[in-house]
């Protein structure tokens, strides 16, 4: 699995996540909780966020109930939730998060092809968005999510 992103794109994504965290939390993100049922996406996000100088902890869960349990145990500064077509994960996870903490810094992660699902995430309480696109050269049989281009 290849994750490709050029340094300009990675820097812009990092700046966006940093700014959202600062605005939402009044300070830099020390902990991030990623909720996505796609291992590929979670790993790519984890790798990208490793360069945040303030970051102490990154955790990954695969479903909304794991997210609620993890957040209740250790409230993360920033919650990244995967949203994609054919999955209710984003909707369920955002609903549970808003129930736990209405002011939580929730950022959705999704593809441009899932515009309706991304828009619905904002209605439910998301506060920001990071977009990715599947690489057109990917082979679906090898990896259904495809290599990610950030």
Q: Greater confidence, 75 or 138?
A: 75
The CATH class given to the 29-135 domain equals alpha beta
Per domain, the residue ranges of the chain are 29-135
pTM of the model: 0.76
Helix, strand, coil content of the chain in percent (nearest 5)? 45, 20, 35
Q: What's the mean per-residue pLDDT of the chain?
A: 76
Q: Greater confidence, 63 or 133?
A: 63
Q: How far apart are CA 26 and CA 57, in angstroms?
A: 18
Our CA dihedral for 15, 16, 19, 22, rounded to 10 degrees, sits at -110
Structure tokens of 147? 């290599």
- Of 60-69, 81-90, 140-149, the poorest mean pLDDT is in 140-149
Please check the confidence at residue 32 and state whether its pLDDT lies above 80: yes
Q: How far apart are CA 26 and CA 46, in angstroms?
A: 22
Q: State mean pLDDT over 94-106.
A: 90
Which of 29, 2, 3 has the alpha carbon at shortest distance from 14?
29
To the nearest whole percent, how much of the chain has pLDDT over 70? 70
- CB atoms near residue 48 (< 10 Å): 19
């Amino acid at each position: 699995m290849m994750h490709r992103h050029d340094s300009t794109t990675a820097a812009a994504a990092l700046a966006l996540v940093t700014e959202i965290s600062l605005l939402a939390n009044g300070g830099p993100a020390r902990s991030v909780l990623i909720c996505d049922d796609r291992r590929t996406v979670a790993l790519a996000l984890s790798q990208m966020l490793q360069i945040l100088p303030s970051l102490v902890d990154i955790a990954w869960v695969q479903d909304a109930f794991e997210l609620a349990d993890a957040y209740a145990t250790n409230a993360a500064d920033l919650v990244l939730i995967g949203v994609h077509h054919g999955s209710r994960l984003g909707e369920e996870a955002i609903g549970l998060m808003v129930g736990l903490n209405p002011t939580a810094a929730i950022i959705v992660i999704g593809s441009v092809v899932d515009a309706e699902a991304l828009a619905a995430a904002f209605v439910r309480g998301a506060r920001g968005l990071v977009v990715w696109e599947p690489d057109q050269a990917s082979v679906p049989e090898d990896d259904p999510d495809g290599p990610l281009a950030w």
